[in-house]
Structure 1
Amino acid sequence: MIFITWNCQGAASREVLRALKEIKKTYKPDLLGLLETKVSGSKADEICNRLGFDEWLRVEALGFSGGIWVFWNSTLDIKPLLTHPQFVLLHVQGLDCTTCFISIVYGSPTHALRKNLWNSLDMHDLQIRGPWLVAGDFNAVISPEEVSEPRNFSHSRSTGFRDWIFNQNLIDLGFQGS
């Protein structure tokens, strides 16, 4: 399964739409999550329909911020279990009959709302039984090395995130690039 998440910071621009077509052509993702789409309503539906995936769902942007769009092809049996303003929870079964849970996250830049995310995204409350991949833009970091200006590092951006990772028994796979 090829799974890509991208914080596109606005899905309506020609540049983003061009890049999405190139990503789809080059990588042929089975599952694609777009974050911070900043588009809602009929305009969002129009764009989602044009991208050419078999299925899709979306969480509305709030004004011109946020938004989560998820696309997939029929090669996967995906059942959306929950949509939340900051994440989508999916049950995924591949052609090889392996199953897992995937959460695609766009954490609010607002500290209080992001704190709500850590409370809502709990594997026990969500009844997750089996492998769980959580990916996206958390708007949080674990350490000063993950920010472009380490001297501006704020522990409030890391404490809740670090505690949540630990409490969920997750493993941080790291990152590449900015």
Structure 2
Amino acid sequence: MKLIVWNCQGLGALWLVQTLTEVVKLHRLGLVFISKTKCKGRRYDRLKEKFNYHRIGVDAIGRSGGLLLLWRKDVEVWLQSFSVNHIDATIKYVDCHEIWRFTGFYGNPETSKREETWELLRRLAQGSIRP
């Protein structure tokens, strides 16, 4: 299964959405994780409908942050946890028996909060035996 992880620094620009659309369709991506979307649910829903995918989104706070996980209909996703910094999920492609873990992560940009970022990663790592 193909996937992309993209720090887009805002989903507001038309050219960016057009580029994302081309990439998703050209490569028939199974998963799309976007960080720093700088947007909220309605825009997430529009992308979900545009691609005919499912979605989990974490809204931006003001014009900061925002996470989005999109997946095709032939991919099963079980949300394990989420925060303003991560989406953690278990993934299974319908035609495959293997189940694996995906953690989309965006670290806190404030250097004073880096230790919190590392602590979150350590907690997430302890919570799973999956690859």
**Structure 2: which 5+ residue stretches go unaligned?**
none
Tell me the SS of whatever aligns to 2:47: helix
Equivalent residues, number: 128
Structure number with greater Rg is 1
- Residue number in structure 2 paired with 1:31: 31
Tell me the SS of whatever aligns to 2:33: strand
- Residue number in structure 1 paired with 2:102: 102
CA distance 1:114–1:61, change in 2 (3 Å): farther
AA in 2 matched with 1:82: S
**More strand by percentage:** 2
- Residue number in structure 2 paired with 1:47: 46
Matched, 1:3 2:3: yes
Percent identity between the two aligned chains: 22
Contact 2:53 2:71 in 1 (8 A): yes
Correspondence list, 1:15-164, <5 A:
15-42=15-42, 44-94=43-93, 95-122=95-122, 123-124=125-126, 127-131=127-131
Tell me the SS of whatever aligns to 1:114: helix
Aligned counterparts of 1:34 and 1:100: Cα–Cα separation in 2:
19
TM-score of the two chains, using structure 1 as the length reference: 0.67
Contact 2:41 2:57 in 1 (8 A): no
AA in 1 matched with 2:81: L
**Structure 1: which 5+ residue stretches go unaligned?**
132-178
- What RMSD, in angstroms, separates the aligned Cα atoms of the two structures? 1.5
Aligned counterparts of 1:21 and 1:29: Cα–Cα separation in 2:
10
CA distance 1:22–1:70, change in 2 (3 Å): same
Contact 1:89 1:101 in 2 (8 A): yes
Aligned counterparts of 2:10 and 2:35: Cα–Cα separation in 1:
8
